Structure 1
Amino acid sequence: MSQSTLDDDDLFGEAANEMRSDVEEHLEAARDELPDPDAIWDVEADNTLGVLNALRSELDPGEAETHLRDAKKWYTMGERADAFDDAGDLEDEIDAVEGVITDLSAAREQVSDLAGTVPEIRSALESADEESESDE
């Protein structure tokens, strides 16, 4: 094997290690950007709509999605280059973070729908109450 080949192999090994580090760093950054569990559980507001709006804000995954995308990008590149000896742990971590972000987004959408419905229900109840009072 020539010196050039050894250098190429060494460089490839270095690049593979850097790719793995990039994936791990982006996954850690994504986890760090996820909402604090207590912030979702302990929402304070003066009324139901306030609680829903506060909850919707707290369910925002924020920059976690961007970091996850970067982790997946580097992971995919490393996988296609066959640069990782064992990437099962990275794949599992990516799937776990992606699952949390998916759940957050789905919950945020449900809360948004409810936040739009609650004022309508209140208005309908107020109208029904006014009609009931006028009938008396």
Structure 2
Amino acid sequence: MSQSTLGDDDLFGEAAAEMRADVEEHLGEARAALPDADDVWDAEADNVLGVLNGLRSSLDVEGAAEHVRQAKKWYVIGERADAFDDPEDLEEAIEELQELLEMVEDAHELVGELTNTMPQLRGALTDAAEAADDDDESEEEEEEEEEEEEE
């Protein structure tokens, strides 16, 4: 019995170590897949739409989200099996990354909305300016006609 039990315990310890390594590896991959802070802050474009499109692209974190999902999956399995000696640090790291991903995803959504809104806003402002120009021209023509009638 002791030989079999010792073997099972050794295998369980090895599996727990591999599970922890998998969680840590996925957390590292998630961090690496996050956008670079300078890519989010710095912009090179000719107009606002170009800036927004570049920002939206830099805020794409699908790869990071998938790695966090994998890390969490292996963490949950390991935690339920009581395989980790110190699971708190892994749990904290997962929570921090999830919060950061939510922030980035929220920003991505907001930028996407602005990217869709700005061309519409520009078009509406252009139409309003043209209408104002047309009104000014009409007023000038009316004033000229009134002046001609007075003479």
TM-score scaled to structure 2, two decimals? 0.88
Q: Which residue number corresponds to residue 65 of structure 2? A: 65
> Greater relative contact order: 1 or 2 (C-alpha under 8 angstroms, separation 6 or more)?
1
CA shift for structure 1 position 35: 0.5
Conserved? CA contact 1:34–1:62, under 8 Å = no
RMSD: 0.9
Give the unaligned 5+ runs of structure 2.
Answer: 137-151
Distance in 2 separating the partners of 1:135 and 1:14: 81
- In structure 1, the partner of 2:91 is 91
- State, as a whole percentage, how many aligned pairs show the same letter: 58
TM-score normalised by the chain length of structure 1: 0.97
Q: CA deviation at 1:100?
A: 1.1
**Total equivalences in the alignment:** 136
After the TM superposition, which parts of structure 1 deviate over 4 Å for at least 4 consecutive aligned residues?
A: none
Q: What do the CA deviations read for 1:84-134 (whole angstroms, capped 9, x no partner)?
A: 111000000001111111111110000000111111111111011001111
* Residue aligning to 1:130: 130
Aligned to 1:25: 25
Matches of 1:66 and 1:120, distance apart in 2? 34
List runs of 5+ in structure 1 lacking aligned partners.
none
Taking the aligned partners of 2:103 and 2:110, their CA distance within structure 1 comes to 11
Q: Which has the larger radius of gyration?
A: 2
Is it true that 1:109 corresponds to 2:109 in the alignment?
Answer: yes
